[in-house]
A and B are shown apart, each in its own frame.
Chain A
Amino acid sequence: MTAILGLSAFYHDSAAVLLIDGEIVAAAQEERFTRKKHDAAFPIHAIEFCLRRAGITADELDHVGFYEKPLLKFDRLLETYLSFAPQGFPSFWKAMPAWMTEKLHLRREIRRGLGNEFKRRIAFCHHHQSHAASAFFPSPFDQAAILTMDGVGEWATTTMGVGQGNKIQLTDEIRFPHSLGLLYSAFTYYCGFRVNSGEYKLMGLAPYGQPKYVDVIKDRLLTIHDDGSFHLNLDYFGYCQSLRMTTPKFHRLFRRPPRQRDSAIEDLDRDLAASIQVVTEEIVLRSARHLYDKTKCSNLCLAGGVALNCVANGRVLREGPFDSIWIQPAAGDAGGALGVAQFIWHQLLDKPRQSTENDAQRGSLLGPESSSDQVQSVLDRQGAVYEVISDPAELDRRTAALLAEGLVLGRYAGRAEFGPRALGNRSILGDPRCSDMQSTMNLKIKFRESFRPFAPVVLLDHVGEFFDLADRHTSPYMLLVCQTKTDALPAVTHVDGSARVQTVDKEKNPRFEALLTEFYRQTGCPVLINTSFNVRGEPIVGSPEDAYRCFMKTHMDALVIEDCLLVKERQAGGPE
């Protein structure tokens, strides 16, 4: 038996992944345990979970890998600060203590985190190698082109390459400070959203605006080349030398300072969101075309934070030259933990890889789960009123009936998802046919901006009836946006007629597929609204306690935790 632990930590979305003989046994993000969104702390809880799941201890691990090379990153920081000195001194001063005490001593930190039980050497992989490995190795392809794009790792911000069999090779890169991820984050910041987590909001805002500023952005802020490479005009961006993403020159260009988070969203924000989305899609598409010309592969694998831009992914699928694309569901830094573990197994240990028709990500249902006894014990402690329905078919029937009545229902079932998207097991579900469901769920349950759309989850066999997704394409990880074909689903149709669709099939999530099938049987509609089980600013629920707490403090109508059904009106207390 060979056990490999992959880790990502200290920047954002720290996570741990455990491979046993190449199989992904467990994967989890630290935020789900600590309840701090995008927690960057050493993933001690995630590691504990992974080891417990496999029934091993840290001294039984054969290899431990970290998802990036700290010294190379330190070099980038040092060279960047030197280039901009003395301008970047405050930023340098702020960054250095953490580097001196923690980040430059990662081996010590990792060993300490493993209780000093792991005695072998720790492997460090390039940041984008980790992304590329996480994109290709779990994919269903034997050969594929690889494109990774994010903010920045060590130096690279975009890489291209090829994966074949059990090896990946990265051949091209764009280096810091020229970064598509940071460009998008600069607009995220300027439009008043939080960098590293608000990018999704900016993407959701884009259809409300007009892409009026595309030419300004392309004339003044960056130059895009035919091969998708680009060059940012650093006069407009402050991330190299300051603690801000944009400079006063950027603010003068758009004739306004950055929007404050509590102030109203203006037309400028909407139009900028639309404009930067168009520019992003153009860069991604050009890069994909260049990569195809270079590799002639018919498959594409994507990872890195930019791969979470599902609107751009949808365009690559529709308009790009590739027949199939596969996107790592944990495309952000959490997925780096998976990447480094698989890189060690396939690339460094030279273990064979067998691609299968279904990917090796196992529906990304790789996190913790709770037994019925554990759930009942939690609910009893909380004084909850609940019903145990041991027969899964009966539970699905009751659940589907509640959904069909127009109730909003939380679902906590089976193993948690690895990655930022809830794919049905830690989800809030609703009936997409109700026109007021979007605002109800946004304002009363998620406590978030009313403009933000919800995603539809659809039975794979019916996807073509409702969504403009070709038959051979699936979207099991909710990472593709396509047009809806019907007006019957107002709650999941964005203002531009698009939807971020998730397809469900028996292979990847049989229990969720059964629920959706039952809803279809009762209503004739094979689609549900699926949004993550959390409220604004909190990570997705990680335990039955979290689920119950979230249920009680929102206006959610019902909750299914494993085989326990709770209805709000029978509970004592509740939200104001």
Chain B
Amino acid sequence: MATPDKPSEKPDDEVTESFDSMADGSDPGIFQEFIWFVKYNKKWWLTPILVVFLLLVVLAFLTNSPAAPFIYTLF
């Protein structure tokens, strides 16, 4: 048995705000969430992998777009 991982620290807003008032805030967005995730789970080593992965996804989208001929000359 292992002890569940503890996050390195709580999000700033979580420290001061109640759950109910936090619920009135706006959604963080996927990039903000990734940053929180990496920070609070101490998974810094994932950052370059996620960046490369993101670039591959962008590339996959671009190669199917009108920009494809320009991408081709670059790669």
Pairwise interchain contact B1-A63, C-beta atoms closer than 8 A: no
In contact, A72 and B41 (Cβ under 8 angstroms): yes
Whether a CB of chain B sits under 8 angstroms from the CB of A557 is no
Which chain A residues numbered 71 to 116 have a C-beta less than 8 Å away from chain B?
71-72, 75, 78-79, 82, 100, 104-105, 107
Binds B, one of A118-126, A259-267, A358-366, A500-508: A118-126
Does any Cβ of A come within 8 Å of B20's Cβ?
yes
A96 to B68, CA, bound (A): 22
Docked complex Cα distance between A110 and B57 (Å):
23
**Nearest-neighbor residue (CB-CB) of B61 within chain A:** A100
Q: For A349, what are the chain B residues with a Cβ–Cβ distance below 8 Å?
A: 19-20
Note all chain B residues with C-beta closer than 8 A to A123. Answer: 19, 23
**Cβ A121 vs Cβ B3 within 8 A:** no
Complex: A107 Cα to B30 Cα, angstroms: 9
- Total cross-chain contacts (CB, 8 A): 57
Q: How would residues 42 to 71 of chain A score, 1 for a CB under 8 Å from any chain B CB and 0 otherwise?
A: 000000000000000000001100000001
The answer, among A75, A156, A171, A174, for a CB contact under 8 Å with B43, is: A75
Determine if B24 is an interface residue (Cβ-Cβ < 8 Å).
yes
Distance between Cα atoms of A12 and B22 in the complex (Å): 30
Residues from chain B with a CB closer than 8 A to the CB of A156 are 4
Residues on B with beta carbons closer than 8 Å to the beta carbon of A62: 23
Interface size on A, residues (CB 8 A): 32
A25 within 8 A of B: no
Q: Tell me the interface secondary structure of chain A in the complex.
A: mixed
Inter-chain contact B25/A78, CB cutoff 8 Å: no
Is B26 an interface residue, CB under 8 A from the partner? yes
Q: Does B34 sit at the interface, judged by CB under 8 A?
A: yes
A121 & B27 in contact (Cβ 8 Å cutoff)? yes
Q: Is B44 an interface residue (CB 8 A)?
A: no
Q: What is B's interface to A at a CB cutoff of 8 Å? A: 1-4, 19-20, 22-27, 30, 33-34, 37, 41, 43, 46, 49-50, 53, 57
Report which A residues bind B (CB closer than 8 A). 62-63, 71-72, 75, 78-79, 82, 100, 104-105, 107, 120-123, 156, 159-160, 170-175, 227-229, 290, 344, 348-349
26 contacts between A and B (CB under 8 A): A63-B23, A71-B34, A71-B37, A75-B37, A75-B43, A75-B46, A78-B50, A78-B53, A79-B46, A100-B57, A105-B30, A120-B24, A121-B23, A121-B25, A123-B19, A123-B23, A159-B4, A170-B4, A172-B4, A173-B1, A173-B3, A173-B4, A174-B1, A175-B2, A229-B1, A348-B19
